[in-house]
Each structure stands twice: as structure tokens, then as C-alpha cells.
Structure 1
């Protein structure tokens, strides 16, 4: 009996060890997915700057069409698969609202961002975009019944004090149209924060996968109408897409590795390790942009740029940490 009991204990211990090992592997995969997704997303700014280097007068809408056109069919396919599986069964009114929200984030915001990148460095663009949680705090309090806490105010103030350091003494602000670029990117960050607040309700009702696909389809529709008008019709569209092979190569990488792949990686990471930890891991994005911009684009980066960036990232980290303490009843895995 004792021998049998010991065998059962041993098997139980091995089972517990295997389970713990599996959980560790899952966490490791989730962390790897989160970091990889954040890095790939952050490379967008560098690739856009490279595209403008190939064709300096390239319209932002043309580059957006290349990016969306190459990734759009995949999102349509995923939506059809999700609908066939019974996900996100909603009426035309909610479908239209989700598509309109997508137009705000992936058409209007992207257009502002791409236009802003014509005037400022990739490093400064990523740093400015990364302050969008400040707008989440403000808009949440003004329009969505949220409240501004002392910790939230402190984290926002810390983030923007870092930007102030960069503007006063940094090298990455070298630009002939600095304030135009900064204004466009900050407006992009503000509108994206508004989108995130709007999107939460949709995600709760129809799921992240269906909502993302509907949002992308809405954005692509608005983008194609814009491109059609700007190019003067179908023949003009064909002419506008006669671009150097090097630019097409950049567009393929932008669509696949800076849009499609990271969007799935981030969703998979959220499923494994929770949204809060994914948000914290996202802080590697600006750092990756800085390294790539220095190595690939030859952008400057001095001591005060480093100090200001560190302060800004600390402010965002504080904001994320404070948000992490709030319980999430909808998803107990997000801790």
C-alpha cells in the first residue's frame, strides 16, 4: 500500500511539475509574442521614412493604399471565417458604427501620422504617439464617466515633462516644420485615444477579432474613396501606383510585418498573458524605433534625447502600472 501511495504521490508531483512547466512555456511564448508585436509595430515609422526617402513627394494616401491594399484581403478572409463560426452576430447599425470607428483610427489617424512623419524624425513620432494614454485619461473623464486621479495626473505630467526635455535640449527635434509635424502626430494620438475608448464597447459585444476586421474594412473603404478622388479616377489610380520596385518592397514589409503579423501577435499575447502586461511590454516599441532610426536612417540621438525619452517612458510606465491595479471583472486572466 505504501509503495502504491508513493507511486501516486510521485505521479501527482510529476503532473504538477509538467503543468507548471507548461504554464511557464505559455507565459514565455506570450511574452515573446508581446515583445515581437510591439517591435514590429514600432518599425512602421522607420519604413514610412524610408518610403519618403525613395519617393520624397509621395502622397501619404498612396502609401496608405499600398499598406492597406496588401493586408485588406486577409482581414476580409478572417471576418468571413469568424462569421461562419458564429462570432460577432450584429445588425447593420452596429456594423456601420464599427466601420466608422475604424475610419477614425485606421484612416484619419494613419493619414495624420503619415503626414506628420514628413516633417519630424521617426524617434520623435514614436515618442509623441506613445503619450496617447494621457488623452485616454482626459477623454475618459470628459465623455465616458471616468475620473482623473492624482496618480493619473502625475504620470501624465511626468510623460510630458520628458517631452519638454527633448524639445529644449534634444537633437531628434531637428526639422524645418517641427511644429506642423508635432501637431499632426499629437492630433493622431488624441484621436486614437478616443477610438480606444469607443472600441471597448464594441470589443465587449462582438469580440476583438470581428471588430478589428470591421474597423479595417471601414478604413479601407474610406481610403479607397479618398485615393480615387485624389488620383482623378481609375486611370489616375493606376498611374499613381506605378512606383519604384524598392517602394513596393517597403510597402509589402509595411503591410505584412508592421500591420498584419503584429496585430495577430498582440492579440495572441493578450490571450496568454493579459492586456496589462502586453501594454507594459509595448514600451520596448519606442526603444526599438530609436535604435532602428539611428542605425537605418542615421537620425541623431543625443544625451538629452535619452534623458527625455527615459522620463517619458517612466511616465507611461507609471500610468500603466496604476491601471494594472484596477480589477478587470470581464477577464480575470488580465492581472
Structure 2
């Protein structure tokens, strides 16, 4: 579900921020993995310098986009940042599963659950159109004349 929620947050965020800023925020995902691991391993000076550089660059681009895009950019950034955190947590906490069942099977499982959640969301929120018919989200079929 973390994979589904992260994709959902990403698409919501892209409605209010530029793709460039979105990509820059997503490039912070490895830093969240590293921050989650702070309690498990010692972080080197090189890793700390990389963290500082990546966050300073993101703040620089973010400040420019807020000036040009307005306050909705802040919301979009938080949504995409949520996506990066979800993926960081997913990668960190599923590490054992990756080792136990393999990367291919793990990704296939994540995609199946994510796809099922997307299809469920579609049927809950949209109306399905078929040639000559309309199927509402609650299952009523009406003939279009």
C-alpha cells in the first residue's frame, strides 16, 4: 500500500508544482533511507556532506518556485515529499522481504497490490462508459439513447 500511496501523493503534487521540482524532491529519497538507518549504522562525513548539498539545492529551487508559483507550491511540495518518505520507508522496512523472496517477486507483489488499489479507487470515484451504456460506480447500467 505504501507504493500505491506514494504514487497517489506524487500525482497530486504534480498538479501544483513543476516536474523539475518534483524530480528534485524525489531525488531526496535516498537521504530518507539514510536518515532512517541513522540508528542502525554510522553515517560518514561524505554522506553528511551529500545530505547537506542535496537539501540546500532543493531549498534553493523550492524558494524560487514559491516566488513564481504561489502558496499552492508549498502543498504540492509536501505531497511529493510525503511520496519520497513513503518510498524511503518502503525500501527500508521491506529490505528483509527483498532478501527473502527476491526483488522480482517483491516488485510484482507491490505492483499487484498497487494496481488493485488503483482499480478500486477508479470504481469508487468515476463513472465507467461503455459504447451505448454508462455504468456508474455503484453498478447501475443505463442505456444512452
Same fold, TM-score > 0.5, yes or no: yes
2:49 pairs with 1:154: yes
Map Cα deviations across residues 25-59 of structure 1 (whole Å, 9 max, x no partner): xxxxxxxxxxxxxxxxxxxxxxxxxxxxxxxxxxx
Q: Following the alignment from structure 1 to structure 2, what is the Cα–Cα distance between the partners of residues 167 and 229?
A: 34
| Structure with higher helix content | 1
Matching residue of 1:235: 135
In structure 2, do the counterparts of structure 1 residues 158 and 137 end up closer, same or farther at CA, with 3 Å as the change threshold? same
2:16 pairs with 1:119: yes
When normalised by structure 1's length, the TM-score is 0.36
Q: Whose Rg is larger? A: 1
Unaligned runs of 5+ in 1: 1-102, 238-335
For residue 99 of structure 2, the aligned residue among 193, 196, 204 is: 204
Matching residue of 2:82: 187
Q: Following the alignment from structure 1 to structure 2, what is the Cα–Cα distance between the partners of residues 139 and 236?
A: 44
In structure 2, do the counterparts of structure 1 residues 160 and 211 end up closer, same or farther at CA, with 3 Å as the change threshold? same
Asked whether the equivalents of residues 6 and 87 of structure 2 are also in contact (C-alpha less than 8 Å), the reply is yes
CA deviation after TM superposition for structure 1 residue 173, in Å: 6.6
Map Cα deviations across residues 194-239 of structure 1 (whole Å, 9 max, x no partner): 11112322221111111111110011112222222223789235xx
Tell me the matched-pair count: 131
Matching residue of 2:110: 215
Matching residue of 1:174: 68
Asked whether the equivalents of residues 17 and 73 of structure 2 are also in contact (C-alpha less than 8 Å), the reply is yes
Q: Following the alignment from structure 2 to structure 1, what is the Cα–Cα distance between the partners of residues 41 and 122?
A: 38
Q: Following the alignment from structure 1 to structure 2, what is the Cα–Cα distance between the partners of residues 214 and 221?
A: 11
Matching residue of 2:143: none
